[in-house]
């Protein structure tokens, strides 16, 4: 994925700046918590999105529900997309797992937008992954 890799070092810090956190408990959790995975460029600090694997306890345990809500707030304030997945996203469909397909789709969309910005694709053309040509797909991946 063109210079990108999923980061799963334990832990992946939620945040590195205090500016987005006026509430002290949220700020404290942002410094102490972690994501399950963080997709980022390997050569810079650019972060694309975080991934959280939600086990069944995420729906029943009050502490887990509270922490998940704080992660949601943190990501919202940082404009960092958060992808929450369960075990179903690890199943293969064709040559991809579901989460693998979503990641590929994410980068195809990013490249599509860059191509629109360069004028290679008309600005009003909607993104439809199924209409990409094979040569465009190879350039995007």
List, for residues 4-27, the tens digit of each pLDDT value.
444 444 445 555 555 554 557 888
Q: Which pTM value belongs to this model?
A: 0.63
Residue % of the chain over a pLDDT of 90? 16
Provide the 8-state DSSP code for 3.
Answer: T
| In the chain, where the domains are located | 4-85, 92-140
Per-residue buried b or exposed e for 28-67, using 16+ beta carbons within 10 Å of the residue's own CB: ebbeebbbbbbbbeeeeeebbbbbbbeeeeeeeeeeeeee
How far apart, in whole angstroms, are the C-alpha atoms of residue 14 and residue 64? 16
Q: Mind listing the pLDDT tens digit for each residue in 105-126?
A: 888 888 888 899 999 999 999 9
- What are the percentages of helix, strand and coil residues in the chain, rounded to 5? 50, 20, 30
- First-to-last alpha carbon distance for the chain, in angstroms, is 6
Cα gap 23→134, rounded to integer Å: 49
> At residue 74, what are phi and psi to the nearest 5 degrees?
-60, -50
CA distance 121 to 137: 14
- Mean pLDDT of the chain, nearest integer: 78
């Amino acid at each position: 994925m063109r210079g990108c890799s999923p980061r799963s070092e334990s832990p992946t810090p939620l945040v590195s700046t205090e500016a987005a956190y006026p509430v002290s408990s949220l700020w404290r959790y942002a410094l102490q918590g972690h994501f399950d995975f963080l997709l980022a460029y390997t050569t810079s600090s650019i972060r694309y999105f975080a991934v959280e694997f939600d086990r069944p306890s995420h729906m029943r345990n009050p502490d887990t529900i509270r922490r998940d809500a704080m992660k949601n707030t943190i990501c919202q304030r940082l404009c960092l997309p958060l992808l929450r997945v369960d075990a179903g996203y690890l199943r293969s469909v064709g040559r991809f797992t579901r989460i693998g397909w979503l990641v590929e789709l994410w980068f195809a969309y990013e490249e599509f937008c860059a191509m629109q910005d360069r004028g290679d694709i008309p600005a009003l053309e909607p993104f439809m992954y199924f209409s990409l040509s094979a040569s465009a797909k190879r350039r995007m991946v």
